[in-house]
A and B are shown apart, each in its own frame.
Chain A
Amino acid sequence: MAEQHEHVMGSRQPTQASQRAPVIAPGHTFASVTDKISAIALTTRHPKSWWVGFLISFVLVMMLFYTITHLLVTGVGIWGVNVPVGWGFDIINFVWWIGIGHAGTLISAILLLLRQQWRTSINRFAEAMTLFAVASAGLYPLFHTGRPWFDYWLGPYPNTMGLWPNFRSPLVWDVFAISTYALVSLLFWFVGLVPDLATLRDRSTNRFTRAVYGIFAMGWRGSAIHWHRYEMAYLLLAGLATPLVVSVHSVVSFDFAVGVIPGWHTTVFPPYFVAGAIFSGFAMVVTLAIPLRKIYGLQDFITQRHLDNMAKVMLATGLIVAYGYMMETFVAWYSGAHYEQYMIWNRMTGPYAFQYWMLILCNVAIPQLMWFRQVRENTVLLWCISIVVNIGMWLERYVIIVVSLHRDYLPSSWGIYSGTPWDWSMYVGSIGLFLCLLFLFIRFLPVISIFEMRALVSETDERKG
């Protein structure tokens, strides 16, 4: 491809440079992509930055365990939640993490169905990110019950109390949606890994690792007949995961929208939550991808094109989210409902006005920078924007949950909420858990789907002729 070579030779023109950036740098072969990606997992020496990152996140996990122990011994009173704000950091963080997970499924399933080739080199770690985000999310509602040893009561099972969950309640839908999402994401990720585990099995020189990879590869031998069924299964899973991912955050939004609290009771929630989830999820993928490609020298595989596309997805979903904010405000005014109007006014000028305007700054104003190609091509700046969006999406949930609850219909039951140090240590600890799992994943499993990269090499070769 003449265009690609031009780009590599440095004679690129200022216009459309990023559209021309290839999805994989030229010159790669089946062997080179295999060796390069499998070496990250199979090497015995790991970069210092890996150790530093792993140790920091491990310490945070210990802090999480300490917090949970204190929580179990003392009770949820150590959190800031109380009447009227009964949902605080726990639900904010739950929604935040679940939203982050959505980008992984979007990249692996929806972009597969849309035949977006550029998804190939980011889908594996985005899927891993989904799993670990869902694991971090799951902590919160389970501990928020106050007596997590009775959490099995959430499940529908015949019991001696003669009770069943109320199937008309969004909270029960949520249990079904989140557990289905976790299991299907795990299946999707594992199925994608099987051929790569076989590669690691065949390439490892150590008997022990060979045996471990071998067990999980399940005897995969790359038979054409197997591939035939495998591709069918993968495609069907993608087709199933696509409506699933849309349903999950819609159901999460029902937790709010079905309630009669001003600020929650609105029909725009499902699409606005789903767009917000993709927005924050892509921000997290960018946050992770930029250091990952730098430290492991994966710029050939995660190219400028990927970053550019992800920035555009963030920009688009960010605009949908901005539309959501606008509609909330408009409908509150247009409804003529006294409590709705007060809720919006209180959001903008009340005790939590700072959080609201920070949210507008982080989610609406700053992402507009991504209209400019120079910004999208500047990895440092893009990384900073992705962090800002992560913060903004956290603030969004803070505003929705806390601001709506702290002043509802009766002024006599108004109150003020703020997170306690235990709220913060649980939050930061869950970030530690997420990062710790991610570091282990980078260490032991291929961060990029090797077999799909080989298919990509073959396709680019064919186009060259």
Chain B
Amino acid sequence: MAFGKKTRPPIYGLMAEFDEPHRLIEATEHAYAAGYRRMDAYTPYPIEGLAEALGKHYTRLGWIVLAGALTGALGGYGLAYYASVVSYPFNVGGKPFNSWQAFVPVIFECTILAAAFSAVLGMLGLNGLPQPYHPVFNVPRFALASRNRFFLCIESRDAKFDSEGVRKFLEEVSGHEVYEVEW
């Protein structure tokens, strides 16, 4: 294809608008069945099954949070251990220096703190946010994606993308005008 090398395709993609969430899901399923892969749907609230229709079944976020939680737990215990045993051993009521039972609240709080931060930063990182600019915002009607309209965008990077075919396909499934998404 002409844009297979370094030259950028003339547009970011083609975008169709929908009134109803179930029509968007159907259209997405058709598009996936037709072989389109580089596409995304945009909705004003999370819709069950839409990510799956786009071929996205799994997210690594759970593992990131688990790693964060373990880091927090070890870090919390390490902190208490270092302070109470290594750096400043101090006899409190005849308890052993490594009185790990008394460290549990601190370990627990550190675990939660690190896990929560990894959940949020992991989600933002995997989503590529913050992202100040994105081509989809060039479509004037796209402002309604955060109100009451649903959008499906097939991107020009898709291997099967050809302007006319995609436009026809989207017109058929949406019944609305199809917008060109400029870079």
What residues make up the interface of A, taking CB atoms closer than 8 Å to B?
29-31, 34-35, 156, 158, 162-168, 170, 172-173, 176-177, 180, 183-184, 187-188, 190-191, 195, 198-199, 201-203, 218-233, 236-237, 240-241, 243-244, 247, 251, 254, 451-452, 454-455, 458
* Across-interface contacts of A223 in B (CB, < 8 A): 40-42, 127
With beta carbons under 8 angstroms apart, the residue of A173, A184, A218, A228 that contacts B112 is: A184
Bound form: Cα–Cα A253–B21 in Å? 49
A232 touches B123 (CB 8 A): yes
- Most chain A CB neighbours (cut-off 10 Å) among B62, B103, B124: B124
Closest-CB distance, A59 to chain B (whole angstroms): 36
**Interface size range on B against A:** 35 or more
The answer to whether B79 has its CB under 8 Å from any CB of chain A is yes
The answer to whether B43 has its CB under 8 Å from any CB of chain A is yes
With beta carbons under 8 angstroms apart, the residue of B108, B109, B129, B148 that contacts A31 is: B148
30 contacts between A and B (CB under 8 A): A30-B147, A31-B147, A31-B148, A34-B146, A34-B148, A166-B84, A166-B92, A167-B102, A167-B103, A176-B105, A183-B117, A187-B116, A187-B120, A218-B124, A221-B42, A222-B42, A223-B41, A224-B43, A224-B51, A226-B129, A228-B50, A229-B126, A230-B123, A232-B61, A233-B119, A233-B120, A236-B61, A240-B119, A241-B112, A251-B105
DSSP majority for the A interface?
helix
* Across-interface contacts of A198 in B (CB, < 8 A): 146
Segment from B4-12, B133-141, B157-165, B166-174 that makes contact with A: B133-141
What residues make up the interface of B, taking CB atoms closer than 8 Å to A?
21, 28, 40-47, 50-51, 53-54, 56, 59, 61-62, 65, 79-80, 83-84, 87-88, 90, 92, 95, 99, 102-103, 105-106, 108-110, 112-113, 115-117, 119-120, 122-124, 126-127, 129-134, 136-137, 142-148
Closest-CB distance, B163 to chain A (whole angstroms): 22
Closest-CB distance, A247 to chain B (whole angstroms): 6
* Across-interface contacts of A31 in B (CB, < 8 A): 147-148
A164 touches B87 (CB 8 A): yes
